Amino acid sequence: MNWDEIKAKLEQILDLRLKREVLHKNDWFSDRNVIEKNNQIYFYLYSEGNHDYTFSLNHTSLTPSEKNLIEMTLSLYRANLGQTKSTSDEQNSITLRDWILNQLQYGSNHYEKLPEPLVQTPQLLTKNIPILIQTNASEENTEEELLNLLKSFYGSQIVLIPLSNKEYVLLCSLDLLEEEIEEQGKDIELEIEESLQVFSSSLYEMLLSEWIGKCHISVHYPIVPCESVLFVIKQLREVMELGRKYYQNEYIYSPWNLQLESLLDILPDEARSGFIKHVFKQVDFILDAEMKTTLEQFFNTDCNVSETAKKLFIHRNTLIYRLDKFKHETGLDVRVFNQAVLVKVSLLLYKVTNRS
């Protein structure tokens, strides 16, 4: 029995006409399932995204006993729906996982449509933030533990797909991000990359403190899962591999922050080594731990001397001394754009080039 059938039954029994209304989500139903407003009485059905779905009618045409009957009927159906939905969500998650793993085995040229039951899953038909989570923890991680944790933070607006006990795909409704951006008075279209970065950082901090400890996260632009979930999972894995390869001390990766690394990664080792030797004549001497840290932080702060000094907890003059020393040893001044680009590229290649 669905909501329309429930509505028809109640109308037949009570000889009343119920109206289905969709309200913008608010706090009306936070602690009760019935409210009265502007001579109307609203019976809460369910929430989806930013909207509450209700039955409503003029409260003057309803007796207290009729009101109690409607409330009790809807309450029982909601409870039953919750149990059914939980079972359905769990089964859909398993079906989706099996389908994804099966497709990934065939390679990039083997694409099929989502299984029919999944095509009708509401969240897979709307925009979601796709996130890949990987952990190296030795202990067994349980999907149930992670799912309960995520739901405690994000409610029901997520889909968790376990690819293994150390790799999970998380689909978060874009509504979660839109609500946060709207509260800040920003435009999601203009702030999407920054907002996704902040959202991912928040997720990472939560997992770090509440779940398994350190893990790695890759995030992608919002997608409609039923249209491109398989393609995006492959993209997320590529971004994850690239990020972990070039930035071993970082834990959150995104395609828009790894565009240069993606381009450099296709170069053969011989070309990488040749470029490094051309730029740095005495690479091992020049790139000691202190100098590497200094240069990386300098680039991370957009070549801002004062900001870099703050990040490194050193005096501004100390930083200038290091940069001057680097210039003297290499002939490259990272305060000059073209030369900074050469050094930045060389540092990236140096990280992943096998040296004898």
Confidence of residue 350 (pLDDT cuts 50, 70, 90): confident
Higher-confidence position of 120 and 129: 129
pLDDT tens per residue across span 228-258: 888 899 999 999 999 999 998 899 999 999 9
Which strands, in side-by-side order, build the sheet including 167-173?
Answer: 158-164, 167-173, 128-134, 216-219, 252-253
pLDDT at res. 314:
95
Task: Provide mean pLDDT across the span 312-340.
Answer: 93
141 and 224, same domain (yes or no): yes
Quote the percentage of the chain above a pLDDT of 70. 81
Confidence of residue 356 (pLDDT cuts 50, 70, 90): very low
Query: Residue 64 domain-assigned?
Result: yes
Higher-confidence position of 274 and 33: 274
pLDDT at res. 27:
56
pLDDT at 297 over 50: yes
pLDDT at res. 277:
86
What range defines the domain where residue 322 resides? 267-352
pLDDT at res. 343:
93
pLDDT at 165 over 60: yes
pLDDT at 324 over 60: yes
pLDDT at res. 238:
95
Query: Residue 94 domain-assigned?
Result: no
Query: Residue 230 domain-assigned?
Result: yes
- The domain boundary residue, chosen from 38, 55, 84: 84
Query: Residue 15 domain-assigned?
Result: yes
Task: Provide mean pLDDT across the span 337-345.
Answer: 94
125 and 251, same domain (yes or no): yes
- The domain boundary residue, chosen from 226, 256, 286: 256
- Compute the mean pLDDT over every residue in the chain, rounded to the nearest whole number: 83
If one counts the domains in the chain, the total is 3
Query: Residue 110 domain-assigned?
Result: no
Query: Residue 195 domain-assigned?
Result: yes
pLDDT at res. 216:
96
Higher-confidence position of 54 and 117: 54
Query: What would the two tokens of residue 21 be?
Result: 């209304």
